[in-house]
Structure 1
Amino acid sequence: MSNRMIRTEYGYVSGIERSIIEKLSREEKHMHHKEKLEVPPFTGKLDEADGRYAIIFTKPGCVKCRQTIRQLSNSMTVNHYQADDTAIAYFKYIGVRSMPVVFIFDHYDIIDQWCDMRTDKINQYKEAD
């Protein structure tokens, strides 16, 4: 990368400075997405859930989403939410390309997460019962 000065929207900077600023801007944007997406609170009772529960983000008309909810509901308490634009943008940003997005909690700690219909993961939690 050249050290000659380049005119940008934020003034004249060297090529190295520009690459650093761009990298920091991308990281700040990533952090902003993380701050905006919050996993919704668990609305059940932890005693009833035996401390373990799932929060599942879905999209309308998704057969895999409905199946995941149905199958996980047999072994634990499940809260599901339709992903809004912010959540979808965040999921795309972190590389998620398929719904549902599943978070498994033990009390307040995320112990597992995945996307798409993962029968291997679902079976893992069915067998834990």
Structure 2
Amino acid sequence: MKQLLIAAGLGLSLAGCATTGTPAPARARPPIVPIPTTSNNVVGLERVMGQNARGLVALFGRPGADLLEGDARKLQFASGTCVLDAYLYPKGKAEPVVTHVDARQTDGSPVDRASCVAALSMKAQGK
């Protein structure tokens, strides 16, 4: 009798784990947009790292976002293909310069940072 009660209790507890609804349909991911690249990487990260804010504006045009937090500054540049966040920090008493960049596609998917720099440069040049 004791074994029967244990088996019945176990069966009822497992029955509570079953679902009767249909699974939600998977959301379709937007198509991936090709990012232009350069064969010799002339327009790459080396054009961004160490730049001050004026240099970035000269390279990409006016940023879509310009955020200050203490001595740090973040400039965000975007095209139809990607978004680039450039983080500028001062070195001693010198003007803040880019020490780190993040890049992503406009849907948030990862993208190569150098390719994003190339795409933004081409956009700024009207190509």
Interval containing the TM-score (normalised by the shorter chain):
under 0.3
Q: Which structure features the higher share of helix residues? A: 1
Bigger CA radius of gyration: 2
Q: TM-score, normalised by structure 2?
A: 0.25
